[in-house]
Amino acid sequence: MTISEENYIKVIYHLSLVSPKGVNTNAIAGMLDTKASSVTDMLKKLSEKELVSYQKYQGVTLTDKGFYSAKMIVRKHRLWEVFLVDKLNFSWDEVHEIAEELEHIKSENLINKLDAFLDFPSFDPHGDPIPNADGEIKKINKLLLSETELNKEYQCVGVKDSSSEFLQYLDKQKIALGSKITVKEKESFDDTLLVQIDSRQLTISNKIANNLYVK
């Protein structure tokens, strides 16, 4: 697979988690910052290689082969992110871009040795699960902060939006994966939350609450 093909497969994977019936051409184009006509061209090629099932106008899904390939790319991406944060002391808002390049390095041996070196982590720095060498993914029951019950203690386990702006906001508010969070009050007018984080009180907008996973 070329780097371009890998990027398409990965995007189709991510989109198919949301629309399992079939992924739209325009959605793919949007994620890859390219044009729908280019996507159509690539879908034909991926279909030829039996990485996706594609009938024109009907959207696209991954074949088993494509699904496995996608998970291996995601595995590489997330393991490299762990390496960058845990070993090289990058902060969690700096690693995504670099991992976008590292995920295309070809050696399977490399990624398995990296996995061992990192002690077989199950989650990346953003709380996303890391597929193991067989493509199996550990699921956890997480929910958005906006969906939690009042006065019940949760633990922060991930982010939905992993843009550096959002991650830097969390850093500024000293909210990290592992932080204990309890929603004390919910303002019905705008869904703003009054929360207790570790031992601090904080007011959190609905937008934030919709992008923070807890369990």
Partner DNA sequence: TATTATTTTTAGTTTTGCCTAAATTTTTAG
Partner DNA sequence: CTAAAAATTTAGGCAAAACTAAAAATAATA
CB of 109 to DNA, least distance (A): 24
Per-residue x/- marks for its own copies, 117-136, CB under 8 A?
A: x-------------------
Instruction: Note whether 52 binds DNA by CB under 7 A.
Output: no
Question: Is 96 one of the binding residues for Mn ion (CB under 5 A)?
Answer: yes
Dihedral pair phi/psi, residue 74, rounded to 5°: -65, -40
CB atoms within 10 A of CB 116: 9
Q: Measured from the CB atom, is 71 or 96 closer to Mn ion?
A: 96
Site membership for DNA, residue 2 (CB under 7 A): yes
User: Which residue shows structure tokens 């399992």?
Assistant: 20
37 binds DNA (CB under 7 A): yes
Q: Is 168 in the site for its own copies (CB under 8 A)?
A: no
Beta bridge partners, 150, equal 183
User: Based on CB atoms, which residue is closest to DNA, 36 or 202?
Assistant: 36
Return the bridge partners of 153, or none: 182
Element at 115 (helix H, strand E) = helix 108-117
> If contact means CB under 5 to 8 A according to the sort of partner, which of DNA, its own copies, Mn ion, none does residue 124 touch?
Mn ion
Give the C-alpha separation, 209 to 184, whole Å: 13
Helix (H) or strand (E) holding 77, with range, is helix 64-82
- What residues make contact with Mn ion under the rule CB under 5 A? 81, 96, 124, 126, 128
